[in-house]
Structure 1
């Protein structure tokens, strides 16, 4: 047999193998709704036609599946542009700052009054249209503290956008543009998403010149938490390339349904390194509906604090696996207490679904409507107990605590109101105004730069803060990756501490 015959047979064998491979993926329908059909915000998800399926029998068909998916969904993806007015006081001299006078000032000039300067900060992210009448989903951090927002579609139309509502706890924001017959995307069921499933990300990474960039990958994991990005963490992990600017864009399955909102990356370099995170669509659906219908996020709560189980702890409780949510504390008067949950209980199932850990439990509860009855299977001292819990609306004081928790994850430390008792304990002047640092993450940049428990923060980015509310307002206005400049007092000595806010 000559060399050509060997090569020919090898090529024929390889082609036969490729032909026999049978990929069964779904393609979304590219059919558009009739021109005279107007979708309202309340009917949007019910009226979006579900994509039709057809088998894919060759690698070329598999390629075409992604091409058609990109073509069908990209028109509903927008680039979000924001603008924010920043006001800063021009710094006084160091002598004037620390001692209240400047020995080098001219006679009779007196104390210098700080000059305030103003400049504009621009931002960019991504979003996607969810209704024909112009509702748009994006990330809260994309539009947070923005004075003005506008969006640009794939065909270069621009619309001024109104911020309908935001939810920092889940990092979701709802925008609205005045338009009709807009292309839109359907929200899928993120609970049905499987690890290993193909997904596609669409967005505008890095700059507007890269708008509507399409990348593909798989679902790497589900239920990722402890990322320290937001309060309610239940992320989808994907290796579809996500970069700064992709935030707020859709993560799509092969049916063209949105299964997640691209939100963040894990990176040592600041660029994509194969680990991206998306907020599940089921959480986004619940938050969006609440904001559109009530103007705010009405969140259910259980009323427990707890933790994830590890293998050692599971063995201590006599469990075979480390699945479940351990209850550390039950709040007085909470739905949990009324239903009979107790400290030391391990919640194994909710509504027949296995509870993997406490983070997953919190996220699932947050997607429920107050008044919902949930069935719980609990391990108590080795015995199985079944409970029915009627969820209630989360009280305002717990929401405030959640806001502070969000700041902690961004900044790396927690604060509280400053009291006379604190002044005595930390040798501080009781006449000062500010917020007291109660704990600092030892791995945070704030700690590495010198911030410590007991420090009194009196200003953020040169603007005075007198209480926790003012601190949260000032700190919340600092975008991820920007520098926070704190003025603090320690044992009546003043100092400046600067660090970058976590992504």
Structure 2
């Protein structure tokens, strides 16, 4: 690289980690981490091994000062070659797409979805009805434990495995459903643009519904109401979304500790579908006072599972 305008500068370091994700630099992250000094002007430069072979492209650093502090990141050369090949063939970066929303599994969620101890995986929180996973039979609540024979450890890894799969290829996706493993064949499609994925159905008016008395259990600190036209318009909720909306979360309660927010739409309580206030009241009343509750939420157009633990 050419840090601070000093061309032909070489720095030395070790590789601290491979496959580093969740750094917050980009949507797709699979970085090589190194303590070789990377400074302004090094981005786009070569990261080479002791044999002089290119192994990465210097990309970014963690720094409080703007200069190198020993934590640098480089894009692996294998990914760079895939991107170059895609640009040469199509004029754009083409990524594989399964059509699912995924999230990390907390210990509480692992217990609820009957994931064996020490077993890693990624939870599917939503399935796009126009995506390849829906056509293949993948369901919300499935836990992906392997993709094309590789064990899945986290969200970042699965996202990258899918993105690098050639569009049109069949992928073998091993999932855990109701405590049992099964393998589903999914034909990987091309990821649509962000604009297409962000499109929402227009909301339609619904009759306003009164709130209900909170249950005497882990959900006692939540206040909910039915979805009415004004609320759906205010929160930009799609007409396809059904459930009850959280109007307030009491400070210091279990729901606040679990991260629930005003405006969340509760669609399931312990895997029971909630479409109306009555559904919510029936499902929440079945919870014992010291019982864990797993909620399926819709938040700003995205679905996610949240476990609410009793204090």
Question: Normalising TM by the smaller chain, what interval?
Answer: 0.5 to 0.7
In structure 1, the residue matched to 2:95 is 299
1:254 CA displacement: 3.2
Given the superposition, is the C-alpha separation of residues 399 and 231 from structure 1 closer, same or farther in structure 2, using an over 3 Å criterion?
Answer: farther
In structure 2, the residue matched to 1:243 is 39
Contact 1:264-1:277 at 8 Å conserved across structures: yes
1:425 CA displacement: 6.0
Given the superposition, is the C-alpha separation of residues 280 and 331 from structure 1 closer, same or farther in structure 2, using an over 3 Å criterion?
Answer: same
Pair 1:396 & 2:177 matched: no
In structure 2, the residue matched to 1:382 is 179
- 2 CA distance for matches of 1:282 and 1:302? 22
Contact 2:120-2:154 at 8 Å conserved across structures: yes
Contact 1:260-1:278 at 8 Å conserved across structures: yes
1:369 CA displacement: 1.9
Q: Which whole-Å deviations, capped at 9, do the CAs of 1:208-230 have from their partners, x for residues lacking one?
A: 2x212212222212222222211
- 1 CA distance for matches of 2:29 and 2:172? 22
Aligned residues: 202
The CA RMSD over aligned residues, in Å, is 2.4
Pair 1:370 & 2:167 matched: yes
Choose 1 or 2 for highest CA Rg: 1
**What is the TM-score normalised by the length of structure 2?**
0.59
1:241 CA displacement: 1.3
Structure 2 residues without counterparts, runs of 5 or longer: 199-229, 236-311
Given the superposition, is the C-alpha separation of residues 370 and 323 from structure 1 closer, same or farther in structure 2, using an over 3 Å criterion?
Answer: same
1:399 CA displacement: 6.7
In structure 2, the residue matched to 1:415 is none
In structure 2, the residue matched to 1:328 is 125
Q: Which whole-Å deviations, capped at 9, do the CAs of 1:312-340 have from their partners, x for residues lacking one?
A: 43344332226222111010021111121
Contact 1:262-1:277 at 8 Å conserved across structures: yes
1:395 CA displacement: 2.1
1:266 CA displacement: 0.9
Secondary structure of the 1:313 match is helix
Bigger mean CA deviation after superposition, 379-388 or 317-326: 317-326
Q: How does 1:308-323 map to 2 (within 5 A)?
A: 308-317=104-113, 318-321=115-118, 323=120
Secondary structure of the 2:10 match is strand
- 1 CA distance for matches of 2:125 and 2:61? 31
1:357 CA displacement: 0.7
- 2 CA distance for matches of 1:252 and 1:313? 42
Given the superposition, is the C-alpha separation of residues 316 and 280 from structure 1 closer, same or farther in structure 2, using an over 3 Å criterion?
Answer: farther
Secondary structure of the 2:75 match is strand
Given the superposition, is the C-alpha separation of residues 238 and 380 from structure 1 closer, same or farther in structure 2, using an over 3 Å criterion?
Answer: same
Pair 1:345 & 2:142 matched: yes
Higher helix share: 1
**What is the TM-score normalised by the length of structure 1?**
0.38
In structure 1, the residue matched to 2:2 is 204
Counterpart of 1:231 (choices 27, 31, 37) is: 27
- 1 CA distance for matches of 2:105 and 2:62? 24
In structure 2, the residue matched to 1:253 is 49
1:378 CA displacement: 1.1
In structure 1, the residue matched to 2:302 is none
1:307 CA displacement: 1.0
- 2 CA distance for matches of 1:376 and 1:326? 13
- 1 CA distance for matches of 2:101 and 2:145? 15
Secondary structure of the 2:83 match is helix
